Amino acid sequence: MNTPVPWTPDELTARLRTLADERYHHRHPFNLRMHDGDLSPQELRCWVLNRFHYQRHIPVKDALILAKLHTREQRQAWIRRIHDHDGRPGEEGGIERWLRLGEAVGLDRVLLLSGEGVLPAVRLAVDGYVNYCRNGTPLQAVASSLTELFAPDLMKVRIGAWERHYPWIEPSGLHYFQVRVRQGRQDAAEALALVGEWARTRADQEQVLAAFTFKCDVLWSLLDAVEHASSVRADAR
Ligand X SMILES: O=C(O)c1cc(C(=O)O)c2c(n1)C(=O)C(=O)c1cc(C(=O)O)[nH]c1-2
Residues near ligand X, by CB under 6 A: 58, 94, 145, 147-148, 151, 154-155, 180, 219
Which C-beta is closer to ligand X: that of 111 or that of 181? 181
Question: 198 in the Ramachandran plot: left (φ > 0), alpha (ψ -120 to 50) or beta?
Answer: alpha
In whole angstroms, what is the distance from residue 181 CA to residue 184 CA? Answer: 5
Comparison of 31 and 205: residue with beta carbon closer to ligand X: 31
Cβ atoms < 10 Å from Cβ of 175: 16
Distance CA 126, CA 134 (A): 12
Beta carbon of residue 123, minimum distance to ligand X (angstroms, whole number): 17
Angle CA(53)–CA(59)–CA(153) in degrees, nearest 5? 75
DSSP 8-state symbol, 88:
S
Minimum gap (Å) between residue 191 Cβ and ligand X: 8
Minimum distance between the CB of residue 78 and ligand X, rounded to whole angstroms?
Answer: 10
Question: How far, in Å, CA of 162 to CA of 184, rounded?
Answer: 19
Smallest distance, ligand X to C-beta of residue 221, A: 13
CB nearer ligand X, residue 157 or residue 203: 157
Query: Which residue, 131 or 201, has its beta carbon nearer to ligand X?
Result: 131
**Cβ-based nearer residue to ligand X, 103 or 202:** 103
Residue 186, Cβ density class (10 Å: 0-12 exposed, 13-18 middle, ≥19 buried): middle
Dist CA 68 CA 176 (whole Å): 28
Tell me the residue number closest to ligand X, measured at CB.
147
Nearer Cβ to ligand X (69/219): 219
DSSP letter (8 states) at residue 71: S
DSSP 86: H
Minimum distance of ligand X from residue 124's CB (angstroms): 17
